[in-house]
Amino acid sequence: MPALAHFGIGLAAKRFFPKIPLWALLVSVMFLDLLSFIFIFTLWSTHGLLMAVVWTVIVMCITILFGHYKNSKKQQDKKRDSTLWGMKILQLSISIGFLVFSHWVLDFIGWPMSVGDPNATGTPLLFDDSIWIGLGVYTTWFGALTMDLGVFIAGLAIYLHHINKIKKIKIYDEIKTDNFS
């Protein structure tokens, strides 16, 4: 259930980052949870503040490297202004990084998830033996449902509004083009 809020952020992000594919936005906001399948028994290695920052920087670096690789392939076809292209790659990297880190922010707001686990303590700042923190929205069913469904529905509404707006623009452009043809 907590994944709904993360998906809501990913859906809403499409409005602010229209050039990034929706699948990339959704993977970005769920990246820390996807990593937790690899690091099963160490929550701090994926959901702690320190490691969330580390994973965010790693994803940003990978995005930059991928962007430069993609740029070098395109430069074979045509020349580009490398400074402008570099800024686009940096902007893309920051956008993806922002979404990866948004996962920790939502977890901080929601945790501890004592609704599902009465022994839950929060999200770790550094490692297992460090302070565990959280605002505790998930300490009640009302808080958990309100946050998850609220963020998801708001994100879905923003996404659908954005998609509808794009469709209207495309239809308007087609009408305008047909009238002048």
Q: Residue 121 to residues 58, 73, 144, 147: CA-CA distances in angstroms?
A: 27, 48, 15, 18
- Kindly report, residue by residue over 147-158, the tens digit of the pLDDT: 999 999 999 999
Residue 125: is it exposed, middle or buried by C-beta count within 10 angstroms (0-12/13-18/19+)? middle
pTM of the model: 0.85
Query: Predicted confidence band at 173 (pLDDT cuts at 50, 70, 90)?
Result: low
Residue 175 has pLDDT above 80, yes or no: no
73: pLDDT strictly greater than 70: no
- Mean pLDDT across 84-112: 92
Question: Which is it for the CA torsion 145, 26, 60, 79, positive or negative?
Answer: negative
Q: Are 33 and 180 in contact (CB under 8 A)?
A: no
Q: What is the pLDDT of residue 138?
A: 93
**What's residue 177's pLDDT?**
65
172: pLDDT strictly greater than 70: no
Query: Total domain count for the chain?
Result: 1
Cα–Cα dist 135/139, whole Å: 9
Question: Which pLDDT score is estimated for 156?
Answer: 97
What CA dihedral angle connects 139, 143, 149 and 151, to 10 degrees? -100
List of residues 6+ apart from 127 with CB closer than 8 A: 44, 48, 50
Q: Alpha-carbon Rg of the chain, whole angstroms?
A: 20
Give me the domain span that covers residue 157.
Answer: 3-179
In tens, the pLDDT along 14-68 reads: 999 998 999 999 999 999 999 999 988 788 899 999 999 999 999 999 999 988 7
Q: Residue 107's pLDDT is what?
A: 94
SS3 content of the chain, % helix, strand, coil (to 5): 70, 0, 25
Residue recorded with tokens 């995005």: 63
Beta bridge partners of 124: 132
Q: Which residue has the higher pLDDT, 77 or 67?
A: 67
pLDDT given at position 82:
64
| pLDDT tier for residue 83 given thresholds of 50, 70 and 90 | low
